[in-house]
């Protein structure tokens, strides 16, 4: 029953999406409002059917309907309700369903929100979004159908991969990442609509910028949460391993970040039009490429999902996107002449250009390193991987220069910066940067890169804080408002600027967290007898006992360790190993004690069956919490940047917005 | 010189620097995938070089000494065997008769000193089929450092 209904709703949604594509295009060409309205209707219908399909699947999962293959594979009677609900995205078919639903939701929002403002372009936007939907609906309706039935149904299912039912983060990391991926469909749809209609003027880029920030925000949170999940679940003490799937999520983030910067140049100076369109197309293609990498199994990864036949389909889809998009770009290149010109090399424009070059260089290195085994095998017939040393050697220096640019970019004037303005803006941050270097060197930081990282982080943080302080003080003097009111009004007056600066502050926190947790990392692995202690840093970790018990879906062996700092008892920690019936080997579950200063990370590596001894791995990683905090600050900045502006809603005039957008000291 | 030329030259310098970084990075970090047979065939010429060695853990060869954390086992591709040593506890997903990839150096004494062990894990449970999987196929299904580089 569920199987039939589900298959039917997906097939119907596919048909409606294709219908919507055709009527939207026809409607736009023939200027027929009824056809266009019908295309809009298709968006509503696809959203309705996608919602229905996803609810059906959830009903089957929660109802433990093992006659569905997906439920039989990813659900089980012993799996707790929470992990049963989120099992939807623990395997290929279900996550495509989630993807479809998020895309349908975004398409609906676009039609509802942008319906009035971009009347000319909207039919094409609708058509593009529905085409992308149609591709994923095709996958779900045919090769990766989540509603495939099995007969006879098994008595119990296998349950999700233990790694995917070990931490509540699984509930938000994949949906956030998907929203980040899917979100880029919207800017892409607008870019293509602009190319198709030839309406390449300023208005669409303003709309796109907002949607890009939404997608970028979700992608940022998704990437950071991915690191957090890896840290909390995979039990190796790290949060980023340059794994192909991690890289796949970083690639669109890098190109998307590049776009968010040069789009400002286009808005202000009417330059870089082709470049921006190319960046949107690339970013969107990379989101699809990311899904392809995750799902095709061509590269080994921690996310090595079951290999499936959909790989070639993804490659074909990416090929079509690139061909059609860049084809239109070339076709319309006459209408994309820059109206402005670069005035000086010392200007915000050129800082942004440099930032773009480096972000793309970063992305290229990540792309190359990720695909290197495939490339070397294709070119030279030998499989060679490059791994962490490569990514660190290339991306750390690029990253450092990017932080420098991040610090100066927002404060340097458009067009041409005078020496006087540079001096006034950067003297204090520069002094603070030297101070920061001194302090970190005093604290024991050695080596060029770590010292530079702390110096640049201080510099960047100082520029941002100085900007907020100066703005607030000036506003307070002019208006007589209190400090907090002045700060909030300042931010509200140019949200995008101050939102961006908040994002930069978040990046600084991430940089500090990553550098400190890498440079000052300590670890030790020792086999302890009961009552024995291990010493690491300022901690003593005593092995107290080993306990074991049976839970409905797993058997748990847990070590109890008491942590002391000198004579003070700090806490009791309980890392464990969990034996799932569906797996032959245990899954480790780490225990982490997080403080703003440092994380203490305990891994139960091994134990004797009699419980007398256990092998324990202990890691101390300073400032790891700052990374997650930095992610939250970045998300906050994105939120500030897109928060609906009362004045703009009232005025709804692009000109107004440009007035509100006041660059720093220019 | 016009501003455009200056800008272009600046960009070229940056691109060249990036190219150099990438080239140097690859040279530094390149790790050849190799099978036990290929490694044995190389013999002494492979001494003290870093590789990524993949194979099946030979049943009965796995030994672990909790006190010293010394882990020894042999990897095979069905033809040749290579003795591997690693300091640390065995990763959760690591056991005899299953596939594993190790990264490290081949020391003179015919011993592969592994700094990293990558154990096989896939989303779906499959019973181990010793000897069936080709060592080369293993590369595709494997992954995440369970042990961190030392």
The pLDDT of residue A334 is above 90? no
In what helix (H) or strand (E) does residue A540 lie, and over which residues does it extend?
Answer: strand A539-551
Q: Is A300 helix (H, G, I), strand (E, B) or coil?
A: coil
SS (H, E, C) A346-370: CCHHHHHHHHHHHHHHHHHHHHHHH
Average pLDDT over residues B89-115: 82
Query: Between residues 292 and 321 of chain A, which touch chain B (CB distance below 8 Å)?
Result: 297-302, 304-306
Cβ pair B4:A342 closer than 8 A = yes
Query: Between residues 520 and 539 of chain A, which touch chain B (CB distance below 8 Å)?
Result: 523, 525-527
CB A70 within 8 A of CB A93: yes
Query: Between residues 465 and 524 of chain A, which touch chain B (CB distance below 8 Å)?
Result: 523
Range picked from A45-49, A392-396, A556-560, B76-80 for highest mean pLDDT? A45-49
Pair type for strands B81-87 and B70-76: antiparallel
- Structure confidence by residue, pLDDT tens digits, A98-116: 999 999 999 999 999 988 7
The pLDDT of residue A531 is above 70? yes
DSSP B88: S
Q: Which residues of A touch B52 (CB under 8 A)?
A: 385
Q: Is B99 helix (H, G, I), strand (E, B) or coil?
A: strand
Q: A interface mutation test: which of B7, B22, B128 has the most A CBs within 10 A?
A: B22
Q: Which two tokens stand for residue A613?
A: 């001894």
Q: Which two tokens stand for residue A402?
A: 């990017």
The pLDDT of residue A401 is above 50? yes
Per-residue burial over B19-55, b if 16 or more Cβ lie within 10 Å, else e, is eebbeebbeebbbbbbbbbbbbeeeeebeeeebbbbb
Is B29 touching A (CB cutoff 8 A)?
yes
CA A631, CA A511: separation in Å to the nearest integer? 11
Of A236, A386, A613, the CB nearest to B31: A386
Average pLDDT over residues B97-109: 82
Q: Which residues of A touch B94 (CB under 8 A)?
A: 585
Q: How far is A258 from chain B (nearest CA, A)?
A: 16
Of A300, A587, A605, the CB nearest to B140: A300
Q: Which two tokens stand for residue A278?
A: 């190319």
Query: Between residues 122 and 141 of chain B, which touch chain A (CB distance below 8 Å)?
Result: 122-125, 128, 139-141
Average pLDDT over residues A502-523: 94
**pLDDT score at A169:** 87
Q: How confident is the model at residue A656 (pLDDT cuts 50, 70, 90)?
A: very low
- Structure confidence by residue, pLDDT tens digits, A352-369: 888 999 999 999 999 999
Class of domain A1-160: mainly alpha
Cβ pair A382:B64 closer than 8 A = no
Average pLDDT over residues A184-205: 88
Residue A497, classified by CB atoms within 10 Å of its CB into exposed (0-12), middle (13-18) or buried (19+), is buried
Q: Which residues of A touch B7 (CB under 8 A)?
A: 342, 345, 350, 353
User: Higher confidence at residue A553 or residue A211?
Assistant: A211
**pLDDT score at A654:** 43
Query: Phi/psi class of residue A64: alpha, beta or left (left: φ > 0; alpha: ψ in -120 to 50)?
Result: left
Q: Which two tokens stand for residue B31?
A: 């790790």
**pLDDT score at A302:** 47
Q: Which residues of B touch A365 (CB under 8 A)?
A: 18, 21-22, 25
Cβ pair A306:B93 closer than 8 A = no
User: Higher confidence at residue A606 or residue A581?
Assistant: A606
Angle between helix A203-233 and helix A624-642 axes, rounded to 10 deg:
160
Of A507, A418, A413, A516, the C-alpha closest to A459 is: A507
The domain ranges of chain A are: 1-160, 205-332+345-413, 414-516+631-660, 522-625
Of A320, A249, A250, A229, the C-alpha closest to A291 is: A249
Cβ pair A300:B142 closer than 8 A = yes
Q: What is the DSSP string of A596-661?
A: SSEEEEEEEEEE-TTSSEEEEEEEEEETHHHHHHHHHHHHHHHHHHHSPPHHHHHH--HHHHHHH-
How far is residue A449 from each of residues A239, A401, A404, A445, A639, measured CA to CA in Å? 20, 11, 13, 10, 32
* Percent of chain A as helix, strand, coil, to the nearest 5: 65, 10, 25
Q: Which two tokens stand for residue B58?
A: 């030979």
DSSP A87: G
Q: Which residues contact A510 (CB under 8 A, 6 or more apart)?
A: A224, A626, A627, A630, A631, A634
- Number of helices and strands (H, E) in chain A? 21, 11
Of B66, B68, B103, B65, the C-alpha closest to B84 is: B103
Q: Return the residue matching tokens 């190799």.
A: B34
The pLDDT of residue A153 is above 80? yes
CB A509 within 8 A of CB A633: yes
Q: Which two tokens stand for residue A532?
A: 């024995």
Q: How far is B126 from chain A (nearest CA, A)?
A: 9
- Structure confidence by residue, pLDDT tens digits, A60-70: 999 999 999 99
Q: How confident is the model at residue A311 (pLDDT cuts 50, 70, 90)?
A: confident
Q: How confident is the model at residue A197 (pLDDT cuts 50, 70, 90)?
A: confident
Query: Beta-carbon neighbour count of residue B137 at 10 Å?
Result: 12
The pLDDT of residue B142 is above 50? no
The pLDDT of residue B122 is above 60? no
Angle between helix B3-29 and helix A387-408 axes, rounded to 10 deg:
150
CB A75 within 8 A of CB A66: yes
Q: How far is B108 from chain A (nearest CA, A)?
A: 23
**pLDDT score at A658:** 39
The pLDDT of residue A647 is above 60? no
* Terminal-to-terminal C-alpha distance of chain B: 51
Is A608 touching B (CB cutoff 8 A)?
yes
**pTM given for the model:** 0.89
Query: Between residues 65 and 124 of chain B, which touch chain A (CB distance below 8 Å)?
Result: 66-67, 69, 88-90, 92-95, 103, 121-124
- Tell me the average pLDDT of chain A: 87
- Judged by average pLDDT, the poorest of A575-579, B7-11, B58-62 is B7-11
CA A634, CA A489: separation in Å to the nearest integer? 20
CB A363 within 8 A of CB A283: no
Q: Which two tokens stand for residue A201?
A: 């003027």
Of A10, A97, A113, the C-alpha closest to A54 is: A97
Average pLDDT over residues A399-416: 87
Of A249, A263, A65, A270, the C-alpha closest to A173 is: A249
Average pLDDT over residues A579-602: 85
* Terminal-to-terminal C-alpha distance of chain A: 66
The pLDDT of residue B55 is above 80? yes
- Tell me the average pLDDT of chain B: 75
Spell out the alpha helix ranges (H) of A63-91.
69-74, 81-86
The pLDDT of residue A32 is above 70? yes
In angstroms and rounded to an integer, the radius of gyration of the C-alpha atoms of chain A is: 27
Angle between helix A122-141 and helix A92-114 axes, rounded to 10 deg:
170
CA A282, CA A285: separation in Å to the nearest integer? 5
Q: Which two tokens stand for residue A197?
A: 């209609």
Q: How far is A666 from chain B (nearest CA, A)?
A: 21
How far is residue A127 from each of residues A50, A308, A434, B69, measured CA to CA in Å? 17, 29, 54, 61
Q: How far is B32 from chain A (nearest CA, A)?
A: 4
**pLDDT score at B120:** 59
Q: Which residues contact A556 (CB under 8 A, 6 or more apart)?
A: A548, A549, A550, A576, A577, A578, A579
Of B64, B88, B123, the CB nearest to A305: B123
Sign of CA dihedral A227, A233, A236, A241: negative
- Number of helices and strands (H, E) in chain B? 3, 8
Is A277 touching B (CB cutoff 8 A)?
no
CB A591 within 8 A of CB A578: no
Q: B interface mutation test: which of A163, A387, A609, A621 has the most B CBs within 10 A?
A: A387
* Percent of chain B as helix, strand, coil, to the nearest 5: 30, 35, 35
CB A576 within 8 A of CB A558: yes
The pLDDT of residue A286 is above 70? yes
- Structure confidence by residue, pLDDT tens digits, A466-492: 999 998 999 999 888 888 898 888 888
Q: How far is CA A188 from the centre of its chain?
A: 17
Cβ pair A241:B29 closer than 8 A = no
Closest residue in chain A to residue B5, using alpha carbons only? A345
Pair type for strands A576-580 and A568-573: unpaired
Is B1 touching A (CB cutoff 8 A)?
no
The pLDDT of residue B126 is above 50? no
CB A290 within 8 A of CB A251: yes
Q: Which residues contact A380 (CB under 8 A, 6 or more apart)?
A: none
**pLDDT score at B34:** 84
Q: Return the residue matching tokens 């003027």.
A: A201
CA A191, CA A280: separation in Å to the nearest integer? 7
Is A342 touching B (CB cutoff 8 A)?
yes
Cβ pair A386:B125 closer than 8 A = no
CA A507, CA A260: separation in Å to the nearest integer? 15
**pLDDT score at A53:** 96
Q: Which residues of A touch B66 (CB under 8 A)?
A: 527, 606, 608, 613, 615
The pLDDT of residue A593 is above 90? yes
The pLDDT of residue B101 is above 90? no
Q: A interface mutation test: which of B7, B29, B63, B105 has the most A CBs within 10 A?
A: B29
The pLDDT of residue B150 is above 50? no
In what helix (H) or strand (E) does residue A403 lie, and over which residues does it extend?
Answer: helix A387-408
Cβ pair B121:A394 closer than 8 A = no
- Structure confidence by residue, pLDDT tens digits, B37-49: 888 888 778 777 8
Q: Which two tokens stand for residue A215?
A: 């997608």
SS (H, E, C) A364-382: HHHHHHHHHHHHHHHHHCC
* B5-13: Cβ within 8 A, 24+ apart: B6/A345, B7/A342, B7/A345, B7/A350, B7/A353, B10/A345, B10/A354, B11/A353, B11/A357
**Inter-chain Cβ pairs, chain A and chain B, closer than 8 A:** 156
- Tell me, what's the ipTM? 0.77
**pLDDT score at A595:** 92
**pLDDT score at A300:** 56
Q: Is B98 helix (H, G, I), strand (E, B) or coil?
A: coil
Q: Which two tokens stand for residue B83?
A: 């003795």
């Amino acid at each position: 029953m569920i199987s039939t209904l589900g298959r039917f709703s997906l097939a119907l949604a596919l048909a409606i999406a294709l219908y919507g594509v055709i009527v939207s295009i026809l409607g736009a060409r023939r200027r027929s409002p009824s056809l266009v309205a019908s295309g809009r209707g298709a968006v509503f219908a696809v959203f309705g059917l996608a919602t229905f399909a996803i609810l059906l699947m959830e009903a089957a999962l929660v109802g433990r309907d093992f006659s569905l293959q997906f439920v039989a594979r990813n659900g089980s009677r012993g799996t707790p309700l929470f992990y049963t609900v989120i099992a939807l995205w623990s395997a290929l078919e279900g996550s495509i369903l989630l993807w479809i639903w998020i895309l349908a939701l975004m398409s609906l929002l676009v039609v509802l929100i942008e319906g009035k403002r971009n009347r000319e372009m909207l039919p094409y936007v609708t058509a593009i979004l529905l085409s992308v939907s149609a591709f994923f609906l095709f996958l779900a309706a045919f090769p990766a159908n989540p509603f495939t039935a099995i007969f006879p149904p098994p008595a119990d299912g296998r349950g999700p991969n233990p790694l995917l039912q070990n931490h509540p983060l699984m509930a938000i990391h994949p949906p956030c990442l998907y929203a980040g991926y899917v979100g880029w469909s919207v800017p892409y749809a607008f870019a293509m609509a602009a190319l198709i209609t030839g309406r390449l003027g300023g208005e669409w880029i303003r709309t796109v910028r907002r949607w890009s920030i939404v997608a970028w925000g979700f992608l940022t949170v998704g990437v950071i949460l991915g690191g957090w999940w890896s840290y909390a679940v995979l039990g190796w003490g790290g949060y980023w391993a340059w794994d192909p799937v991690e890289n796949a999520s970083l690639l669109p983030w890098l190109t998307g970040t590049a776009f968010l910067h040069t789009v400002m140049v286009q808005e202000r100076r009417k330059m870089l039009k082709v470049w921006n369109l190319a960046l949107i197309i690339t970013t969107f293609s990379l989101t699809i490429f990311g899904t392809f990498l995750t799902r095709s199994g061509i590269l080994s990864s921690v996310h090595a999902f079951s290999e499936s036949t959909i790989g070639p389909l993804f490659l074909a889809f990416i090929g079509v996107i690139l061909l059609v998009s860049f084809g239109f770009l070339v076709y319309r290149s006459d209408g994309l002449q820059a109206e402005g010109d670069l005035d000086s090399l010392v200007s915000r424009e050129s800082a942004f250009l440099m930032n773009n070059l480096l972000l793309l260089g970063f992305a290229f290195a990540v792309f190359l390193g990720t695909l290197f085994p495939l490339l070397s095998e294709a070119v030279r017939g030998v499989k060679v991987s490059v791994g962490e040393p490569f990514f660190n050697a290339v991306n750390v220096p690029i990253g450092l220069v990017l932080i420098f640019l991040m610090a100066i970019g927002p404060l340097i004037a458009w067009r041409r910066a005078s020496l006087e303005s540079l001096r006034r803006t950067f003297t204090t941050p520069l002094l603070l940067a030297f101070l920061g270097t001194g302090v970190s060197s005093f604290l024991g930081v050695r080596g060029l890169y770590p010292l530079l990282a702390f110096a640049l982080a201080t510099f960047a943080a100082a520029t941002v804080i100085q900007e907020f302080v100066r703005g607030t003080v000036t506003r307070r003097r002019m208006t007589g408002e209190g400090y907090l009111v002045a700060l909030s009004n300042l931010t509200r007056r140019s949200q995008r600027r101050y939102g961006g600066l908040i994002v930069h502050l978040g990046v600084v926190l991430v940089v500090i967290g990553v550098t400190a947790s890498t440079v000052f990392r300590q670890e030790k692995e020792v086999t302890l007898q009961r009552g024995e202690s291990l010493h690491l840093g300022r901690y003593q970790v005593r092995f107290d006992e080993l306990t074991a018990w049976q839970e409905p879906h797993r058997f748990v062996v847990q070590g109890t360790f008491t942590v002391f700092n000198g004579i003070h008892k700090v806490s009791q920690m309980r890392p464990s190993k969990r034996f799932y019936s569906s797996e032959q080997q245990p899954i480790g579950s780490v225990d982490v004690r997080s403080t703003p200063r440092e994380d203490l990370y305990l891994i139960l590596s091994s134990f004797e069956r009699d419980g007398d001894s256990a092998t324990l791995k202990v890691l101390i990683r300073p400032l790891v919490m700052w990374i997650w905090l930095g992610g939250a600050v970045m998300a906050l900045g994105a939120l500030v940047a897109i928060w609906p502006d009362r004045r703009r809603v009232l005025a709804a005039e692009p000109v107004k917005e440009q007035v509100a957008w006041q660059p720093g000291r220019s | 010189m016009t501003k455009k030329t200056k800008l272009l030259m600046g960009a070229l310098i940056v691109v060249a620097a990036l190219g150099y970084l990438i080239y140097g990075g690859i040279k530094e970090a390149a790790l050849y995938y190799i099978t036990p047979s290929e490694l044995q065939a190389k013999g002494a010429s492979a001494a003290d070089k870093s590789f990524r060695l993949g194979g099946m853990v030979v049943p009965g060869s796995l030994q672990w000494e909790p006190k010293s954390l010394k882990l020894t086992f042999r990897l095979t591709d069905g033809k040749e065997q290579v003795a591997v040593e690693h300091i640390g506890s065995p990763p959760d997903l690591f056991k005899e008769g299953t596939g594993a990839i190790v990264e490290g150096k081949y020391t003179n004494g015919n011993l592969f000193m592994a700094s990293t062990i990558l154990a096989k894990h896939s989303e779906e449970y499959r019973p181990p089929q010793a000897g069936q999987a080709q060592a080369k196929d293993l590369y595709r299904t494997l992954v995440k450092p369970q042990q961190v580089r030392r």
